[in-house]
Amino acid sequence: MKLFPEKSVLYIETFSAIVFRRGDILNRTRAKLIITTVLIVILLTVGIHIAGMHSKRMVSLREAGVEAVVVSHDKSVYPDFIYNSCAINNDSISGEKEHNIPLTHTADTEELTKLSTDIVTGRITGLCYTFINGTAYTVADLHISNSFKGSLVSDDIVSLYFLGGYASVQDYNSFYGIKDGDPNKFYKFTVKGYPAPELEQDMLFFMSSNSVQQDIPKNVYSLTSPANSVYTPSSDGESYTGNGRSFTAEFLKELVQQDFRI
């Protein structure tokens, strides 16, 4: 592969002859060498500059989120640590405990709509478990399919925190000042009247984003009224049932519109 095209070589020789018209062959040879060197330096400098611009453009695109189109809907937020779910099984469960957590009163659909920052349909695609300040949580990856209220859109993935789950015996004992505890054994925690998350089930969720609760991360979600915030859609998706009540999608849309007008 030639460094310069034939025309470029001709230009170099012509320029050298013009500069050294007296025909000094040695000087002309030196001139060609100098000019060639200068051209090589210029080409290398331009090439590095172009490469730098390309690199900066890639960085700016990355900062703009263009490169992350596939995962740009992933808004999940995880706690500082989670347990290895594979380690939690029937053999590793040391016992069951109940969180004595008072639940809010059972809100009706109108009140649920007003209190919720987001009302969405979606399915839970993954679960993990954590233990924060003496409380066990199940962290669910919720894949949104439709939104009735709030800023979430289809294909968003958010973290929905449920009360209850698992904690290692060691972590539980340590929280209550007990030194001994097996890190490979777990307690299962439940909350009376609180629903357990179900994997791969299309459901309707009344949720509230966290902005004040200190135990769990900000920008995650929890059920607005734990006792009655999850509903099962009909096969055509036009109505929802659960917790001893039922309502249509149109009725829910009207409630949301009313809430916006207030």
pLDDT tens for residues 31-83? 556 666 766 766 666 554 444 433 333 333 344 444 444 445 889 888 889 99
The pLDDT mean for the chain works out to 79
Residue 206 corresponds to which amino acid? F
Mean pLDDT score, 171-193: 92
Stated length of the chain: 262
Q: What is the pLDDT of residue 213?
A: 65
CA distance 147 to 151: 8
From 8-22, 126-140, 169-183, 230-244, the region with the lowest mean pLDDT: 8-22
Q: What is the pLDDT of residue 99?
A: 85
Q: Phi first, then psi: give them for residue 92, nearest 5 degrees.
A: -95, -5
Q: Is the model's pLDDT at 117 over the cut of 90?
A: yes
- Enumerate residues 6+ apart whose C-beta is below 8 A from 70: none
Q: What is the pLDDT of residue 56?
A: 34
Return the structure tokens found at 129: 């478990």
Q: Quick one: CATH architecture of 85-261?
A: Beta Barrel (2.40)
Structural element, H or E, at residue 168? strand 165-168
Q: Is the model's pLDDT at 240 over the cut of 90?
A: yes
Q: What is the pLDDT of residue 2?
A: 47
Residue 171 corresponds to which amino acid? D
Structural element, H or E, at residue 125? strand 118-132
From 33-47, 124-138, 215-229, the region with the lowest mean pLDDT: 33-47
Confidence of residue 106 (pLDDT cuts 50, 70, 90): confident
End-to-end CA distance of the chain: 75
CA distance 136 to 130: 6
pLDDT above 90: percentage of residues in the chain = 50
Confidence of residue 196 (pLDDT cuts 50, 70, 90): confident
| Residue 13 near residue 1, CB atoms below 8 Å | no
Return the structure tokens found at 223: 């059920």
Mean pLDDT score, 80-97: 94
Confidence of residue 193 (pLDDT cuts 50, 70, 90): confident
Return the structure tokens found at 42: 């210029």
Q: What is the pLDDT of residue 4?
A: 47
Q: Longest Cα pair distance anywhere in the chain, in angstroms? A: 106
Q: Is the model's pLDDT at 6 over the cut of 70?
A: no
251 burial class (0-12, 13-18, 19+ CB within 10 angstroms)? middle
Q: Is the model's pLDDT at 234 over the cut of 70?
A: yes
Q: What is the pLDDT of residue 136?
A: 94
